[in-house]
Structure 1
């Protein structure tokens, strides 16, 4: 018999935060992660998983496993790994998903289609999240702010299981909503994400980078390319937390772009998470980013439709140069975004 609890696959910034809130509220939560020290801390009654930051301060203990230790099946698996690890993780968790269960993607990018390719569309659910959190060390995640959480079936139906999931996720984010078009939010996040990848090229934080007036036209180029591709794909991206895709449509007045940038600056100044997770991957954790799973797919989708994305292509090249150790992090890198 499948467990009616929740299996959190990936207990880092997103999975650790969401899972800890649900565990504290009495939900049956089991964590899975690839970092042995993190797994050991979560299940150690003397340590546990600590959530710090201005939103909440608390610690929980919970069952925690390495992937090879997982046994049995679950009706609900929340996938929270980095986007470029989605296919590998989906294959690993597939034997532990019940026949009538589902995988919920709490990730950036268009991961739902990758997951659906492994477990099937009927067993895949989508979500968009924008709250800020950082994995600090084994057993410790910092939550920087609250932000949009949107849930949806990938085929747009408003189902009983979506309603049930909504009730659970409202434990974590009381303002979480459901939508018949989760893809509109996911594509919106790809546009916003391009700006976060740009921030990660330098040392200034998100708010500081977005507030640089000399970068307005560069940020506009990145956002406009992403929105143009989304529209060509038949998706009208939706905004959130200051990000306004309509202000980045071709022909939109520059003043509208600047207004949206100012709103994003204001939103991010209220977060204890000052830098993007992309920047932490490059500057702190010294590992590869999600650029090939977030920026490159937009470039490829554009190319398939005859839409050039020179700004996004340059952005991807700059990120790759930093990942490969061929370019240092520098705020001057952002000035090179327009070819």
Structure 2
């Protein structure tokens, strides 16, 4: 790719993740085009612009923004930032616009890379793990609550020239972004941490307040143990980040280790202006389905294949589905049902 084309990126999905990353890159002078399915959001990005607010940064950028049906031409770099359960449809829509030697970067939660690779091919897929806190507030406005881990890696673990170039790009957003030779370890680590965020979303208290509930320690410990046990059975050794220590949730790890990790996750989230998970916002604010079928259910299914029952995760997924279907109110008492 030429230097000019390195500056040109298509951000497919301009919500909390895509909107935040794209806005920073646009502010830094890169040639960014946003794609989103919400017409009002697309119009706002064009004018008066996409506003990033919160303790990390305050700025507004205007940028080209279009609906999926309006995309034309080809792109060497497409950052896919849609909700996990929309990955397949979005990837099929963007595939005709991906150049033969280009790639799709998955800036998502869940194991979306396998879906993307099945459509555009593994050689045109790069994985990423992000943990910064951001919320889509309204068309044209995103809250960035904190800085956190940003990690990228080739699916085969190689450190390639394009990966190093990508790291340089992402450091224009997050200066501490890193490369990994095992992106799957971070993705599975996020599944363990993410299960606890799904638990928080059952109630009304924020993330830090949920972690601070002493009666919930055994529930969080079980969720973490089930996810980590399945990852290990899959041949993946999860890696930690921002307070989440996978080793503390390994089978046989002492309760004190999990307690320390839970306390560290509370401290980390206490410092963020984003108080509630995106899962909670999906249920309580935006009244839409969550990513449970792409984050929690795949762990359950993989566990079943290895003879690991995952009763905590099964209960959690069932409760989230009940809330999605309007059959269960969101109350803090819901979390108590996860206690073994």
Instruction: Please confirm whether the aligned pair reaches a TM-score higher than 0.5, indicating the same fold.
Output: yes
Of residues 3, 24, 34 in structure 1, which corresponds to 2:27? 24
Name the counterpart of 1:172.
Answer: 173
Correspondence list, 1:322-337, <5 A: 322-337=323-338
- Runs of 4+ in structure 1 off by over 2 angstroms are 1-4
Q: Secondary structure at the match of 1:172?
A: coil
| Partner Cα separation in structure 1 for residue 253 and residue 79 of structure 2 | 38
Name the counterpart of 1:241.
Answer: 242
Q: Secondary structure at the match of 2:172?
A: helix
Provide the aligned C-alpha RMSD in A.
1.0
Name the counterpart of 1:230.
Answer: 231
1:337 shift after superposition: 1.2
CA shift digits 1:138-159 (9 cap, x unpaired)? 0000000000000100110000
Q: Secondary structure at the match of 2:9?
A: strand
Name the counterpart of 2:74.
Answer: 73
1:282 shift after superposition: 0.3
1:90 shift after superposition: 0.4
Unaligned runs of 5+ in 1: none
CA shift digits 1:165-209 (9 cap, x unpaired)? 000000000000000001000000000000000000000000000
CA contact (8 A) 2:131 2:148 kept: yes
Q: Secondary structure at the match of 2:205?
A: coil
1:338 shift after superposition: 4.1
| Partner Cα separation in structure 2 for residue 257 and residue 110 of structure 1 | 24
Q: Secondary structure at the match of 1:171?
A: coil
Correspondence list, 1:258-273, <5 A: 258-273=259-274
Q: Secondary structure at the match of 1:31?
A: strand
Of residues 34, 37, 41 in structure 2, which corresponds to 1:38? 41
Name the counterpart of 1:288.
Answer: 289
CA contact (8 A) 1:310 1:338 kept: no
